[in-house]
Amino acid sequence: MSPPLEFSGVPANTKSLVLIVEDPDAPGNFIHWLVFNIEPQTKKVREADVPDGGMLGLNDFGKTTYKGPCPPSGTHRYFFKLFALNDKLPLPENASYKEVFDTMQEKLLDAACIYATYTRKTPPSP
């Protein structure tokens, strides 16, 4: 279930937003959620909800849903990155992270990031 998020200060000329949730501490950087073409007037993402107008890209689980923290071991950081773009991305639902990332580079106006950590609890020894 995706967490609730709130944001403000989106540039006035923004035409769409991209939200990427990733774990940079996983081997190869792991994408947990990828949402693009979010309406620029969006100020809040409700828990377990897709932002207004958002199209879902594929995460590294091969799904178009949010998948929460589940690191193999240790403490991992989870970055929630929001990008403001000057246009919508001409991509289909199920687009890959690479397609979204590459396509948005020429459209980038601004970006913001927050992160949280999660530590997997190891089961007690028998």
Give the closest residue to 18 by CA, choosing from 83, 66, 67: 83
Name the DSSP class of 106.
G
Confidence (pTM): 0.92
Tell me: pLDDT of 1 over 60.
Answer: yes
Residue 67 has pLDDT above 60, yes or no: yes
- Res. 123 pLDDT band, cuts 50 70 90: low
Domain ranges, ordered by start, for the chain: 5-119
Q: Please state, in angstroms and rounded to a whole number, the distance separating the CA atoms of residues 97 and 92.
A: 12
Q: What is the arithmetic mean of pLDDT over 110-122? A: 92
CA angle 110, 111, 115 (to 5 degrees): 170
The kind and range of the H/E element at 99 are helix 97-104
The Cα diameter of the chain in Å comes to 59
pLDDT in tens, 85-96: 999 999 999 999
Confidence of residue 113 (pLDDT cuts 50, 70, 90): very high
Q: Which CATH superfamily is domain 5-119 in?
A: PEBP-like (3.90.280.10)
The mean predicted confidence, pLDDT, of the chain is 94
